[in-house]
């Protein structure tokens, strides 16, 4: 029963979340992303591993939720801006559904596999995209707060169950 209920919830999550997330002010999204990313990438930021992103912009697009963020590095911290900022277009873009991005985050799916299945779209500077992918692959998820790590893993497991049930 719980499996069926969770399958329905996760199948319909984008339909429910899309209107809710569309009214969340960007400043709230930005604060949440900055906090989460600064914790997740704390060691990489200290080590200067984001230097390759200085004066360059990564676009992250959650296609089923109509969410787009621009990410850059200013030498000290990650910068999060809305899509369309700066006036200069993105250097590289990663686009996928929320489910697929969660599966990548939880290490349940390999980004390369999703790329070749055309479920992860990478546009722009492929060398920059590879640097971003390699940096993400090198990060330990234990850097996230326990509740965030648990939520990501639980969500990914539910998505996998839903995918298995729906074939």
| 3-class secondary-structure state, position 75 | coil
What is the average per-residue pLDDT within 129-157? Answer: 82
DSSP designation for 90: P
The band of 149, judged by pLDDT with boundaries at 50, 70 and 90, is confident
Identify whether the C-beta of residue 86 lies closer than 8 Å to the C-beta of residue 71: no
Residue 107, pLDDT above cutoff 80 = yes
Share of residues in the chain with pLDDT > 90 (%): 43
Angle in degrees, 0-180, between the axes of helices 2-22 and 98-105, rounded to the nearest 10: 110
66-88 mean pLDDT: 86
In the prediction, which pLDDT does 118 show? 95
CA distance 99 to 155: 9
More confident residue, 3 or 78: 78
Domains and CATH numbers, the chain: 2-162 (3.30.1050.10)
Question: Predicted confidence band at 56 (pLDDT cuts at 50, 70, 90)?
Answer: very high
Three-class SS of residue 119? coil
Q: Residue 105 — pLDDT band, cuts 50, 70, 90?
A: confident
What sign does the dihedral 84-67-71-115 (CA atoms) show?
A: negative
Q: What is the mean pLDDT of residues 122-127?
A: 94
The whole-number pLDDT of residue 153 equals 84
Residue 72: which pLDDT band, with cuts at 50, 70 and 90?
very high
Q: In 3D, which of 21, 23, 1 has the Cα closest to residue 13?
A: 21
């Amino acid at each position: 029963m719980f499996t069926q209920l969770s399958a329905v919830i996760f199948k319909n999550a984008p339909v429910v979340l899309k209107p809710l997330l569309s009214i969340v002010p960007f400043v709230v999204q930005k604060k949440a992303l900055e906090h989460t990313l600064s914790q997740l990438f704390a060691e990489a930021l200290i080590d200067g591993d984001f230097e390759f992103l200085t004066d360059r912009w990564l676009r992250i697009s959650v296609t089923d939720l109509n969410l787009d963020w621009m990410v850059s590095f200013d030498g000290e911290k990650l910068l999060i801006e809305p899509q369309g900022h700066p006036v200069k277009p993105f250097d590289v873009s990663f686009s996928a559904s929320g489910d697929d991005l969660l599966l990548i985050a939880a290490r349940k799916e390999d980004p390369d596999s999703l790329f070749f299945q055309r479920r992860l779209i990478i546009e722009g500077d492929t060398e920059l995209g590879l640097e971003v992918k390699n940096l993400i692959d090198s990060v330990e998820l234990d850097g996230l707060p326990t509740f965030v790590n648990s939520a990501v893993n639980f969500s990914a497991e539910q998505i996998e169950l839903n995918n298995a049930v729906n074939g």
